[in-house]
Amino acid sequence: MKRAFTIIELIFTMVILGIVASIASGLIAKTYMGYNRANAINRANMQVELAITQIANRLDYAIGGTVVKRKSATSHEISAIDTAPEDYDVLEWIGWDKDGFNASRDITTSRKPGWSGFCNINASSKNSIVTPGSDLAFANTIIRKLSAGQARFDNSKDNVAIFFPGNYDYTNVGYNGSNHNGVGIVTTYSNVPPTLSIQPPANNRITEHYKLAWSAYAIVPVDINATGDDTFNLQLRYNFRPWKGKDYDSTTGVKKQILAKNITVFKTYATQNRVHIKLCAKERIGLNANSTISVCKEKVVFK
């Protein structure tokens, strides 16, 4: 004969099952929270790493002495990065054209870069730079496409700057639409022999080496407090030319790209020949808007 469970046995079993369920649910909840936390840290980590690497990679091609900071909140006051006040939150610089310098039209038939960076002093004058080893037609095509036609060597689009080794700072490269006497301007070109016709810099100093630049670059905090908290987005702006009186807020041709979202800290400063960058981002843990995690990274770029 089969014996049935007594009421006491059923109650005892239910109590044990309740205890097991309580422990199990706690473990599951902790595992889920741990997963959400790890996922949030990973997202913030990736975003900060990608953004700070992009900034550092572009900053690596800055023309020496042209790295500045601005105050975005008012009339874009400008200062050399070495002496910029704490509230100057925009990082800006003029970058030389690495795309035209590194590219070759067809490596199987020609290994010439767009521009070689070398000047034949004996064959050149202050207004005409003979640059052996260059494929200037190719460089013109690259610059024209990257700038959406705003900068080029031909059709009197004198928007490409030529920099010879020297001392540059924001007072002589055209920032704020002012003096750009330190900068040469390319007016046209010839490919045989490869020759750049230029408006020379004020000192008429021509050397064996040069760099071309068609844009300045700015890292700008935008959408500050748009989400009701202390975060903002970081935006890269380029395709503007200080030596033509343009800045990162110019309405014509300036390109904009969001580098990172939910940023809480973007700080830059200079010590000796180094630019220090610090970036922090915040990510929500799971669906709880009040539960967040922050990740910070720093990088140093030699200037």
pTM of the model: 0.86
Task: Give the model's pLDDT for residue 113.
Answer: 87
Task: Give the model's pLDDT for residue 245.
Answer: 87
Neighbour count for residue 62 (Cβ, 10 Å): 20
All residue ranges of the chain with pLDDT < 70 are 1-5, 9-10, 12-13, 17, 20-21, 23-36, 105-110, 155-158, 225-228, 286-289
Run of H or E including 143: helix 136-146
Angle at 253 between CA 249 and CA 258, to 5 degrees: 65
Task: Give the model's pLDDT for residue 233.
Answer: 94
- 106-165 pLDDT, tens digit per residue, is 655 567 789 999 999 999 999 999 999 999 999 999 999 999 999 999 866 668 999 999
In degrees and rounded to multiples of 5, residue 294 shows phi and psi of -120, 145
State the Cα–Cα distance between residues 104 and 126, nearest whole angstrom: 27
Percent of the chain with pLDDT over 70: 85
Which ranges of 60-125 would DSSP assign to H, the alpha helix? 98-102
Task: Give the model's pLDDT for residue 2.
Answer: 55
- 280-291 pLDDT, tens digit per residue, is 999 888 666 677
Cross-strand partners of 271:
274
Token representation of residue 141 = 């095509």
Task: Give the model's pLDDT for residue 190.
Answer: 93
Angle at 292 between CA 50 and CA 260, to 5 degrees: 25
